[in-house]
Structure 1
Amino acid sequence: MSPRIVKLKVLDARIPTTNSRKMEVLTEYNNRIKGYKGEKSLEFYLDPLIQSKDYHVFHEIRLLSGKYYFQIDFLILCHKFALALEVKKRSRDWYFDEFNQAYLLFDGAKEKIQNPVAQAKLQSKKLKQWLDEHQCEEVPIHYLFVNSHEKSKITCEDGNDQFKNMCNSEALIDKIELIEKFYKEEKLTRQDVRKIKRLLLTKHTPDDPDILKYFNFTPKDLLPGVQCPKCDSLPMKYHYGVWTCLHCKEKSKTAHIKAIEDYFLLIKPSITNSELRHFLQIDSIKSANNILKSLNLPYIGNRKGRVYYRPTTPICKRDHSEIAKWQIKLRSGK
C-alpha cells in the first residue's frame, strides 16, 4: 500500500467531523483504496509471470520524466518487450463508443469518464521517453487497460479501434502470450534486462506527499491524543503507564505507539518531549521521557535539547542493530 493511502487513512481519523474538508479527504481515500484493491486482485492472474524467471513485474513504479512524475499500475518486462497495465476495478459495466470515448453504465444511464486505454497509452509513451533518456532505445512497449472487477463487462461499439488494447483480468495472460508470439526473436539481452531492471528500481520514487500541505491543513487542524485500538475514540487517558478509553473503557499499555507513528506520518519525522506531550495529551515531562526511552528511537542531543527521529521501519518491528546505525548517521550529520 502506497504511503499516500496510509497517510490519507491516518489523516481522516484525525480531522474532526466539523471540518468542511473532511469529506474531501475521505473521498480521495476511498477512491485510492478502490484502485489499490483492483491492483491487488490482479496479483492472482499475474502469479504465473511473478513465478517465472523470464518476466519481471513491477507494481506502481513511479518515475521522473522532465518536470513531472508518471506512475504505472503494473509494468511487465521480459526479453522481448515491456507492457504497461492500467488497472481499474469498477462495479459498473464499461462502454467505449466509436470515438474512443469511455463510459460507465448504470441503470440505463451513461457516465462519461477518462478513457483508461488512453491513460495506458500515455503512460507507455512516457515510459518510452524515459527509457530513451537513459539510453534504452530498443525496448518495444505495449499497453493494456485491464478490468479487474469480475462482474463488470466491456462493450465496444463498432468502429472503436481500442478493443485490442483492453481485456478482463482473466484474459490477461492470453493477451500477454499473443504479444510474445508476435516477436520471433528476443529484443533484449540478459544484460539489457538487468540494466533496465536496475534503472527502474534505482529511479523509482514512491508517492509520499506532505499530506497536510496537499490539503492545506496545519498541525492545528488535527485531533491530538491517543486513539482507542478498540473503538477508535480520541483521546485515551494516561495514568500510571496505562491508557484508558473514556468511551468504551478499553485499556492498553501500547496504544501510544500508533499515535507517535501518526505524528511522524502527518506532521514531521522528528519529535521532542514537549511535542510528544502535546500530541499525546499528557502533562508529565517524566512520563513523556519514559515513553520515548521505551521506544528506543534514534536521537541526537542531551536532556532538554534531545530530538527523537522516526525510524526507517515501524516502531514495533525494529531491532537494536538498526537503532545503532541510525545513531551513528545522525551524530555524523549524514
Structure 2
Amino acid sequence: MKERKLPPVLLQEEALLRRLPDRHGKRSILEGSLSKRWAGYRGEQALDYELKTLPFRKYFIFHDLRLRVFGSSFQIDTLVLTPQVAFLIEVKNIAGTLSLNGDGGQFTRLVNGREERLPSPLAQVKAQQSKFENWLHFHKIYSYPIVPIVAISNATSRLDIRNTSVRVTHLEETLEQIKALHTEYENRRSYDLTTLSRLLNQEHTPFHSNITSAYSIAHEEILKGIQCPQCQQYSMMRINRLWECPFCQKRSSTAHRQAIVDYFLLFNSALTNRKCCEQLLLPYPESQQLVSKLLKRMRLSYEGSTKGRKYHRPDDMEKWIRG
C-alpha cells in the first residue's frame, strides 16, 4: 500500500559528505551516521523481502509512514494491517549477543568481548504504538489492537531477551510470528482496511530536514562546482558544449546534474538561474542562457517568467534522481 524508499536524510547526508572538504571536522561524524543508516535501511529491505510472501488480500503493508497527532509527528518504519489487528514492526540491524531483562531493563550487546549499552528498541516501538493509538482515536477508530514487534535483521546475532511484553525475534521468524498472532485475533471485530489505508496515505507527511543546520555547518563551508565523475575533483569546466576536467581530461555532458541534485538536497529551496550559476561556479549573467537550457532539460517544475523563474525541488527526490 506504500512502498519503501531511501530515507531522505540518507540522501542528504551523502550529498553533504560529497560537498565537505577532505579535512573537515564533521566528515567522520557523517561517515558514522551514514554507515548506521545504510545498515538500518538494508535491514528494513530484508524484512520487506520476507513480507512479500504474505497474502495481499489479508495483509496491507505500509512502509515509512510519517503521521501527525496532537501537534507532533511520529515515524513508523513498517506497519502491517489486517482487518482484526495491526502489527507495528521496528527493524534493528545489530550484531552481537543482545540482552534485555524486562521492558525497563538495560538493552546491551556483547561483541568481541566488549559490552555496550544501546537505546532500547522496546521503548521506541512502544512509543510508536502509543502515538499510533492516539492517531487512530483522533480519527474515531477505537479498539483496534496494535501488536509491536522488534525484528533483529543481523543473522549472526544471539538473543537473550527475557520477561518482555514486546516480542523480539530474528528477522526470519517475524513472518511466522505475524501469522501465528493473527490467528489469535481472527474472531475479533473486523475493520474496513480500504478506508483506513486511504486515510493513512492521505495523512502521510514527508519529512525534509535542514541537514546543514543539523550538523551546524555553514553554507560557506560547502564545496561548490561540478565534481568530476572520474577523479572526484570539483574542477569541471564548460568546453565545446561538454564538461571537461583539467586534471584527468574526463569529458561529460551530464556532470552538472549531481551539483543540482546536491543543491536541492542540502538547501531544500527554490533554484534560480543566478543560484544555479553560483552552484556550478559559472559566471553570471554570461552563463544565464546555458544554465536555463540545462535546467529545462532536467524537467523541473517552475514558476515565474524566464528572468525571475524559480525551479522547485522535486517531491520525490529518489525517483527524480534515478529518472
Is the TM value for this pair above 0.5?
Answer: yes
The answer to whether the 8 A contact 1:94-1:105 is kept is: yes
What are the Cα deviations for residues 243-301 of structure 1, in whole angstroms up to 9, with x where unaligned?
Answer: 12234322101110121121122124322222222110122634442232243244444
Structure 1 residues without counterparts, runs of 5 or longer = 319-334
* Residue in 2 that maps onto 1:23: 28
Aligned partner (choices 59, 72, 77) of residue 76 of structure 2: 72
Task: For residue 84 of structure 2, give the secondary structure of its aligned residue in structure 1.
Answer: coil
Which position in structure 1 is the counterpart of 2:3?
Answer: none
Instruction: Determine whether 1:137 maps to 2:142.
Output: yes
Who is 2:168 aligned against? 166
Q: Does structure 2 conserve the Cα–Cα contact (< 8 Å) formed by 1:56 and 1:78?
A: yes
CA contact (8 A) 1:84 1:144 kept: yes
1:290–1:81: structure 2 CA closer, same or farther, 3 Å change rule? same
> Residue 237 of structure 2 contacts residue 244 of structure 2 at CA under 8 Å; is this kept in 1?
yes
The aligned residue for residue 195 of structure 1 is: 195
1:328 is aligned to: none
Structure 2 distance, partners of 1:316, 1:13, is: 16
- 1:120 and 1:23 mapped to 2: Cα distance? 29
Distance (whole Å) between structure 1 residues aligned to residue 180 and residue 229 of structure 2: 50
Q: Deviations over 1:159-192 (max 9, x none)?
A: x312761110111111112211212424223xx2
Distance (whole Å) between structure 2 residues aligned to residue 3 and residue 25 of structure 1: 15
Pairing 1:100-179 to 2, within 5 Å after superposition = 100-156=105-161, 160-162=162-164, 165-179=167-181
Segments of 5+ residues of structure 2 without an aligned counterpart are 1-5
State which of 85, 92, 95 in structure 1 corresponds to 2:89.
85
Matching residue's letter, 1:42:
L
Q: Residue 305 of structure 1: SS of its match in structure 2?
A: coil
Aligned position for 1:58: 62
2:16 to 3, 11, 14: 11
State the distance in 1 between where 2:269 and 2:32 align. Answer: 26
* Alpha-carbon offset, residue 199 of structure 1: 1.7
More displaced, 27-36 or 166-175?
A: 27-36
Q: Counterpart in 2 of 1:43? A: 48
Letter in 2 for 1:67: G
**1:28 Cα offset (Å):** 2.2
State the 1:144 CA deviation. Answer: 0.7
In structure 2, C-alpha distance between the alignment counterparts of 1:108 and 1:129, rounded to whole Å: 42
Count the aligned residue pairs.
312
Distance in 2 between the 1:312 and 1:120 partners? 28
Percent identity among equivalent residues? 29
Tell me, in whole angstroms, the C-alpha distance in 1 between the residues paired with 2:131 and 2:211. Answer: 26
CA RMSD of aligned residues (A): 2.3
CA drift of 1:235 comes to 2.7
Which residues of 2 match residues 263-302 of structure 1 at below 5 A? 263-283=263-283, 285-296=285-296, 297-302=300-305
Deviation at 1:83, TM superposition (A): 0.7
- Tell me the equivalent position of 1:327: none
- Distance of aligned partners of 1:217 and 1:140 in 2 relative to their CA distance in 1, 3 Å threshold: same
If the length of structure 2 is used for normalisation, what is the TM-score?
Answer: 0.88
Which of 307, 310, 313 is the matching residue for 1:310? 313
Does structure 2 conserve the Cα–Cα contact (< 8 Å) formed by 1:228 and 1:250?
yes
AA aligned opposite 1:139: Y
Moved more, 90-99 or 128-137: 90-99
Which secondary structure does the structure 1 equivalent of 2:249 belong to? coil
Amino acid of the residue matched to residue 187 of structure 2? E
SS in structure 2 at match of 1:295: helix
Deviations 1:14-33 (A, max 9, x none): 12233322333332222222
CA distance in 2, matches of 1:241, 1:153: 58
Structure-1-length-normalised TM-score:
0.85
Alignment check: 8 A CA contact 2:75 2:128 kept: yes
Q: Which amino acid aligns with 1:310?
A: R
